Each structure stands twice: as structure tokens, then as C-alpha cells.
Amino acid sequence: MSKHAGIPLTYSEEVLEALRAGDPVVALESNVITHGLPYPDNAATAAKVEAAVRAGGAVPATIGIDAGRLVVGMSGTDIERFATASGVPKVSSRDMPVVLARGGMGATTVASSLIAAELAGIPFFTSAGIGGVHRGAQTTMDVSSDLIQFTRSKVAVVCAGAKSILDLGLTMEYLETQCVPLISYRSDDFPAFYCASSGIRSPHRLDDERTIARVVENHWAAGNDSSVLITTPPREEDAVDRGEAEEAIAEALAAAERDGVRGNAITKYLMRAVDKATGGRTSEANMAVLVSTAEVGGRLAAAHAHHLRESGHVPEGNRSV
């Protein structure tokens, strides 16, 4: 429907209209659909996540790659197709130009979804657990591209912290070194995805949505072309006990080592192994935290759009396009 900077983008009608009007839009990843959860949980959760963004007051834009184009706002049919197709590749930033050139379907991670969001002019993105520094990265050098992409994409990212399978201390060090602002919304600690706290204190707690909108704008006004990370913890009733999760993670890490799993397959492998060890508890929690985070993402995006309007910002769509 519209083109941008040489990369063909296909917007849904609803997303395009919202962007033109300066209404809040929240971008969502699709790798969690193809690689995060099994069918039919993946499709059902994707629908609930979109509904939660709406409940928060914004329009959802699930991002994917299809036939050489970036899809910005998948339809229900698209989501069902991605949820049931087998062999859809996980597409991170480095894979994106290849998959776009070759054609076919591609499931975007946090990192590549941020590239799409920025190209599309969407200032907010949400997902439950971002990638980060893997445990043992001192020798494997496995650091998720999600973190590097935060230093390159001008998008506010709302999440429930980083996945519990990661080294959260090192992940936070990396974010600090790379000058990525980190704010925790209505909590003191950096959350650990489906665990309420990582045990690490967040550098900043903010309880007010307007102040968060101002932080995002301040970061960009200061000349940074990078992300702002905003965390929100899982709801108490959805959270998994940290001790229980840690035990399962230790088992999963040992199994991964034994099976020689590495590279971009390790995240999915570990998540599945932890889920098996907890008798499905963690994937239940994963689905719940995806939905609750999306609701907060919608709310913060709405507050941001409101803030822009109040400060006299003219939506991009009204300038040219």
C-alpha cells in the first residue's frame, strides 16, 4: 500500500490510518508466534495480545515478512497462516535483507521488528521478554542482536525484562554501557520475564505515564537515534516462583550443552526445555505475561501520542506521504 526508503512495506488499512492521524500504534513481533509457542496457543495468544494493545488504547501492528515485503499490521488470516506454517525462518536484523530479497515468509524477532517499526514510523513496540546476554557469554559470545538493535532504532520498547534463561546482570550492564535508558514502570526491580523480579534494582522507577512519554521524547530530542527500554513486571497471579524457574533453567542449560545446541536455535530450545521441566507452568506464564505487557504497551503508547498532540507535534502522515 505504501513504500518507504526502498524497502516495500505493506500496511494494514487500520495502521496506516492511525499513523496518518497521529493515533497511537504499537508494533509486535511475529517470532513469538512461529517459534515461541505451539499451535493453537500461538494463534490464540497473538489475538489476545492484539486485543490487549487495543484495551490499552492503541492500534496493534504485528510485524512479519511475506513475499519480499515487510508486513506492518498482519491480518487475522496472516496470523493464522504464520501460526500453522512449518519452517518459517526466525529473522533477526542480520537475516532481514536476505529474507526480503529471497521472498517467502519470515518471522521477525524483537530486533528486526524494531527496524520495521522505525521504517513504518511507529514509535512503540512491545514484547514480553527481550533477548539479552546469554549465560556463559564470556566464552560463547552469545549476545542477542536485540540489544545491539536497541542502540540503532528510535523506538520505545515495553517489555517484562529479559528472558529468565539469560544472564540478567550482564544484560543490564550491556544496556548501561550502550547508553540505553531503562525505566521500570510502577516497580523497583528489573523484572525477569515470567518472574516478578530479577533481584536487580532498576536504575529508574516511574509511575506516571506522561513522565515516561517525556523521557522518550527527551532521549530523542537529545540527539539519540536509539531505543528507550520500559519494563513492567508480570501480574502477581501470573508470575512463576524464581526458585522453581531457576531449577528448571539449570537443567535446561545442562541439556543444551549435552545436545550441543548453540546459535540462534538456543533460545527456543531452552524455553521449551524449561517448560517441560515445569509441567507447562512457564508457557502458561509466558502467554499471560505477553498479554499483560501488551496492555501496558498500549497504555504507554496512548500517553505518548497524547503528549505529542499536546506539545503541538504534527503527525508524519499530515506532512507528506
Q: Report the alpha-carbon distance of residue 316 to residue 89 in Å, rounded.
A: 32
Q: How far is the CB of 314 from ligand PSU (least distance, A)?
A: 33
Q: Which is nearer to Mn ion, 118 or 142 (CB)?
A: 142
Q: Choose among 287, 195, 190: nearest CA to 246.
A: 195
x/- mask, ligand PSU, residues 101-140, rule CB under 6 A, reads --------xx------------------x-x---------
From CA 98, how far away is CA 95, in angstroms rounded?
5
- Please report, for residues 64, 67, 77, 225, the alpha-carbon distance to residue 90 in angstroms, rounded to integers and kept in the order given: 10, 15, 20, 25
Q: Residue from 78, 146, 209, 217 that binds ligand PSU (CB under 6 A)?
A: 146
Partner from ligand PSU, Mn ion, none binding residue 271, C-beta < 5-8 Å depending on class: ligand PSU
Q: Which three cell numbers stand for residue 210?
A: 506522561
First-to-last alpha carbon distance for the chain, in angstroms, is 11
Q: Is 14 annotated in the active site?
A: no
- Nearer to ligand PSU among residue 20 and residue 268 (C-beta): 268
Based on CB atoms, which residue is closest to ligand PSU, 113 or 217?
113
Q: Which residue among 18, 162, 271, 294 contacts ligand PSU (CB under 6 A)?
A: 271
Q: Name the residue whose CB lies closest to Mn ion.
A: 142
Closest CA to 179 of 228, 232, 117, 118: 228
Told to check if 95 binds Mn ion by CB under 5 A, we report: no
Q: Which cell numbers in the block locate residue 282?
A: 512457564
**Does residue 35 interact with ligand PSU by CB under 6 A?**
yes
Burial of 229 (C-beta count, 10 Å sphere; 0-12/13-18/19+) = buried
Choose the one of Mn ion, ligand PSU, none that binds residue 91, judging by a C-beta under 5 to 8 angstroms depending on kind: none
Residue 91, strand partner residues: 108
Q: Is 163 a catalytic residue?
A: yes
Catalytic pick from 90, 118, 163, 295?
163
User: Of 16 and 145, which has the nearer Cβ to ligand PSU?
Assistant: 145
To ligand PSU, the closest distance from the beta carbon of 316 in angstroms equals 26
String of contacts with Mn ion for each residue 130-169, x by CB under 5 A? ------------x---------------------------
| Alpha carbon distances (Å) from 45 to 64, 96, 246, 253, 316 | 16, 25, 25, 27, 31
Query: What's the min distance (Å) between Cβ of 311 and ligand PSU?
Result: 32
β-pairing, 2-4 vs 7-11, is: antiparallel
DSSP 8-state symbol, 165: T
Distance in angstroms (rounded) separating the CA atoms of residues 61 and 145? 21
232: contact with ligand PSU by CB under 6 A: no
Nearer to ligand PSU, 50 or 217 (CB): 50
Cα–Cα distance for residue pair 100/65, rounded to 1 Å: 7
* Span 174-213, contacts to ligand PSU by CB under 6 A: none
204 touches 231 (CB < 8 A): no
Out of 36, 123, 181, 234, point to the residue binding ligand PSU (CB under 6 A).
36
Which positions from 51 through 110 interact with ligand PSU, judged by CB under 6 A?
Answer: 92, 109-110
Would you name the residues annotated as active-site residues?
29, 163
Site residues for ligand PSU per CB under 6 A: 29, 31-32, 35-36, 92, 109-110, 129, 131, 144-146, 264, 267-268, 271
